[in-house]
Chain A
C-alpha cells in the first residue's frame, strides 16, 4: 500500500492561532500576494521562477457536502459540463484551445470544493484566464450534451466505485458514520440520484454557486504578480457579483455507541475500515488538537518505521496492508480513519483487534520521543519537497482559502507540528478515539463469480456482439 507523506500538505491549522508561530522551516509567504476584486473574487499569486510555466486554478466553494438529498453528484456532473460549451465556445472547444496552446488541464471535485486548473507555458497565462472567466458565467448547459455526459459520469461511477469492492465499502461506511452531516454524500453521487438528475437541476446549481464572490483564483509560477492582477481584473473584474448564500448548517448528532456494517461483494480479499469522529481545524477544537491528530496519524502511519508497519504488518504479521489517515483541512469535523487487509492466515476480526490495540496503546501512554522526532523530521522535509511542484503549491493555497482558513495558515504548518508534545498526542487519543465514536466497516468477499484462470481463444476479427 502506498504511503503518501504529501498528505501532510493537506493538513490544516486553526483560523485564529492563539500564539502565532515565529519560525517556519521554509516560508514561501514572501512570494505570495493577494487581492480581492470589486465583485468579491479573491486572487492569490505566488511567484516561482524555477521553470517557465504557470499553473492556474479556479476554486469554487461548492462540493458534495453542499448537496441536498436527491441531488448528490450534482457538483461533480456540473464540473463535467463546464467543458461542454458556453455561449461562445462549442463543446470540448475549451480543451482544444488549451491543448493547442501546449497546456494540460483538468478539474476535480471534493466534498468541500470544485476546482479547475490549467498548466501552461508562462507566456500563455492570459489564455486560461480568458477561458475561465467565460465559463464562470456563460455556461450553456445544453440538454443533449447533458444527456451524453451524465452517461459518462455513470461509467465513471462503475469504474471507480461499483466495480471496486473497497471503494463500495468506503461509500457505505461513510454514509453510516455520518447520519446527518452531508459528508455522508458520495462525491460522485448515489446511482439513482445520477439517474434522476436533470439539466434544470444543474442550471440552478450553476447559477447559485458559480459566481466571482464564491471563487478563488490561484496563480503560481513564472509570473509578475502585478501583471496577473491586471489580467484578472480585465477578465474577471467585469463579471457581475451576486449574493452567495452559504449552505445551511447541518450538525452531526453526537454518536453514542459503536456502529458496524458489512458489505458483500465479488472479491477475494477482505477489507476493514474504521473511523472515529474527529475535529477539523475549522471546527470547535482547541487550536493544537488538529496538529496533534496529524502527528498521531504519523506515529501510526508516517512511513515504514511507523507503528502500523513495524508492529502490525511486520511484528505481528496480522496485516498485509494497513493505513491511517486524518485530514484537518475541511469545513466541518470529519473522521480519523484506519484501514487494512488481513495477512494470509489471519481474519479481518484479528486485524480489527490489532488496530484497536494500537489505539488503546496511544491512549495509555505518551509516544516515545524518537517516534515523535521522526514524524516531525518528515513534516519539515515535506515542506521543502512540496515546493518542487507548482501544482501542489497552488492546491494548498486554493484548498485553505476554499474551506475558509486562508492560505497563510499553510505557512505555519511545520512550526505548529513541531510544537506538539507526546502528552498532547495522548490527550487527543483519549478525547477523540473512543469506542463509542467508532464506525467499523467490513468487506465480506464473495469470490464465487470471479475468474480463476484465463483461457486463450485464438480468433479473427469477427467478434462483434458483446
Chain B
C-alpha cells in the first residue's frame, strides 16, 4: 500500500505524495550517501555485533550477524554488476536487475510476486554504479522462510528475461528517462558524472540513454547476467534470527544454482581532472541546482578518515556544518546545502550542492567556492574537529540499531573487501584524526582550480510577486 506520509530522513520518491514537510534536507541521494558514508560508528562495549564469515562451495563470500530478538531475517546478495559494467550498453546493469523478478524457472512475474507476497516476504533488486543488490526480508518461521529462499534461489539461478517483459521494461524506461528531463536535480547529477568521469565507466548514467534503448535487448540482459551474476562475483550478507549452521544451510540453498564463474575484472582507476569544467544548462525551474565537485575518494583510500571526518565539519553534519551555516543559517539562500564524499570501488565523487532561486545562483556559487577555499587553506578549528569527532563516535550505536542497517553494513564491508575489524576500529581512527591531517588531505586531494561546476535552471528572479 502506498505510503502517503513521509517521515524524517526519508527521501521523496519520484511519485511520493508530499504530505509532510521536514526541516532539514532529505534527498534519496543523500540518504544513500549517508548510508555509505555510514561510517559513523563508535566503540562501546557490546555495541558492535560479532561478524561471522565463510565462503560457499561455489565461491561466494558470506557475512553473518545473528540477531535473535525479532523473528525475521534479512538477506542481501551484492554482485559486482553495477552500472560500471555497462560498457557500450548504457543502462544495461540496471535494466538486467529490474528484469530478474519478471520470469524465472518457468514462473512468470505474477507467480513470482504472489509467491513472495503470499509469504509476507519483501524482496527487490537494484543496481547502482558499483553494486547490484538482490534483497529479501522474511519472517524466520521455517514454513515461510524456506519457500521464500527457494523462490529467490530459482530467480538468481535462472531468470528468463521474457521478451514481453523486456519490451515493457524498455517502454517504462523511456517514460522514466523523459521524467528525468523534468528534474533539475537529475539533469545536474547526470551532467556532473559525465563531466567528472569522462571516459571512465563511472561517467555513465545508470538509467541509460534514450538513444541507447534499442540496445537493451533480451540477449544483452542474458549475457550480462551470465557473466556477472555468478558466485565468485557475489557477497552475501545475512542478519537475523539464524545461527551459523542455519545460515550456512540457507546460503547453500540460495546459491545452489549459481555457477562459480569469475569475479568481475578490476575497474581502471579514475584520472584526475586536467582542468575545470563549468557547465550551465537552461531549465524553466524556479530554482537553479548547483553541483561542485570532483572524483576523489575510493573505499580503501589511505586518506579516508581525514577526508570524511574533515567533511563532517565542512558540509556533512547537516545543519551544524559550515556549508549549511553559510548558505542557509546566515543567509536563507537554500533549504538544502551540503557536501559529501561518496566512497566507491574507484575514486567516488566529492560533491558540494545546493538549490536556490535562480537570481541568487551567482551569489550562492561564490559562497560555496569561498567556503571550500577557506576550508582547504585553514582546515577546521580544533573545536570544530572535536565536535565532529564527538558526533561521529557518540553516534555509533545509532548506525547499527536495526537489522536493516546492519545488513547494509555487512554487504558494504564484504563487497569492498574491508577488514572485519573495520567497525571495531572506526572510532579510534575517527578520534585519531588531527587538524593538520585534515588540512593536508584536503589540500592534496581537492584542487579548487580543477573542479566540475554544474548549474541547471534559469536565472529568473521571483515570479508572481
Contacts and interface: CB of A to CB of B under 8 A. Distances in A.
Interface in B1-60: 1-9, 12-24, 26, 42, 44, 46-47
A189 B287 CA distance: 18
- Residues of B in contact with A, size category: 35 or more
Given A7-B4, A326-B1, A50 B67 contact: yes
B137 A385 contact: yes
B168 A107 contact: no
A181 to B, nearest CB: 15
B320 A1 contact: no
Contact of B3 (A4, A124, A158): A4
Interface in B425-457: 448-449, 453, 456
Interface string A170-211: 110000000000000001100100010000000000000000
B285 interface: yes
A361 interface: no
B378 to A, nearest CB: 19
Nearest to B391: A99
Given A102-B394, A314-B109, A450-B181, A302 B1 contact: yes
Contacts of A214: none
Contact of A377 (B44, B120, B287): B120
B215 interface: no
Interface in B159-208: 168, 171-172, 174-176, 178-179, 181-184, 187, 190-191, 194-195
A324 B281 contact: no
B323 interface: no
A121 B397 contact: yes
Given A95-B320, A156-B21, A460-B276, A269 B9 contact: no
Contacts of B137: 385
Interface in A108-159: 108-111, 117, 119-122, 124, 147-156, 158-159
A69 to B, nearest CB: 19
Nearest to A11: B1
A119 B40 CA distance: 14
Contact of B6 (A108, A166, A323): A108
A56 interface: no
B462 to A, nearest CB: 9
A53 B320 contact: no
Contact of B401 (A151, A374, A390): A390
A304 B109 contact: yes
Contacts of A381: 119-122, 138-139, 144
Interface string A91-111: 110011001111110111111
A79 B176 CA distance: 34
- Residues of A in contact with B, size category: 35 or more
Residue in B2, B20, B110 with the greatest tally of chain A CB atoms within 10 Å: B2
A344 B334 contact: no
A51 B47 contact: yes
A83 B17 contact: no
Given A7-B2, A343-B171, A463-B365, A160 B117 contact: no
A187 B20 contact: yes
Interface string B388-418: 0011111111101111100000000000000
Interface stretch (A35-43, A233-241, A293-301, A425-433): A293-301
A388 interface: yes
Residue in A101, A301, A304, A392 with the greatest tally of chain B CB atoms within 10 Å: A304
Interface string A296-338: 0110011111100110001001001101111100000000010
A155 B333 contact: yes
Contacts of B374: none
A458 interface: yes
A398 to B, nearest CB: 11
Nearest to B190: A454
Nearest to B462: A154
A177 B190 CA distance: 37
Contacts of B122: 5, 381, 385
A7 B3 contact: yes
Given A269-B179, A344-B171, A381-B120, A50 B187 contact: no
A277 B185 CA distance: 34
B276 A378 contact: no
Contacts of A111: 19
Interface stretch (B243-251, B263-271, B301-309, B353-361): B353-361
A374 B118 contact: yes
Residue in A326, A384, A389, A390 with the greatest tally of chain B CB atoms within 10 Å: A384
Contact of A395 (B7, B369, B394): B7
B391 to A, nearest CB: 5
Given A50-B67, A92-B320, A99-B317, A268 B181 contact: yes
B336 interface: yes
A337 B331 contact: no
Interface string B90-119: 000000000001000000011011101111
A21 interface: no
Given A111-B19, A163-B287, A187-B18, A384 B72 contact: yes
Nearest to A320: B175
A267 interface: yes
A380 B397 contact: no
B464 A325 contact: no
A380 B120 contact: yes
Residue in B20, B72, B114, B448 with the greatest tally of chain A CB atoms within 10 Å: B20
Contact of B195 (A161, A451, A456): A456
A450 B404 contact: no
Contacts of A457: 277-280
A460 B274 CA distance: 11
B21 A269 contact: no
B235 to A, nearest CB: 22
Contacts of A466: 358-359, 361-362, 459
A76 B22 CA distance: 8
A163 B394 contact: no
Residue in B1, B71, B402, B403 with the greatest tally of chain A CB atoms within 10 Å: B1
Contacts of A268: 178-179, 181-182
Contact of B355 (A155, A269, A306, A323): A155
Contacts of A99: 317-318, 320, 387, 390-391
Contact of A109 (B14, B16, B20, B336): B20
A447 B184 CA distance: 14
B328 interface: yes
Contact of A461 (B18, B144, B276): B276
A392 B456 CA distance: 36
Interface string A48-90: 0011110000000000000000000000100110010000000
24 contacts: A7-B2, A102-B396, A102-B398, A104-B395, A104-B398, A106-B9, A106-B22, A148-B329, A158-B355, A187-B20, A268-B181, A304-B112, A304-B113, A305-B114, A317-B171, A321-B175, A337-B17, A341-B15, A381-B119, A381-B139, A381-B144, A456-B277, A459-B277, A466-B359
Given A155-B355, A341-B179, 5 more contacts: A100-B387, A119-B398, A149-B332, A266-B284, A268-B182
Q: Which 7 A-B pairs give the minimum distances between C-beta atoms?
A: A102-B394, A381-B120, A151-B332, A305-B113, A304-B113, A51-B401, A325-B2
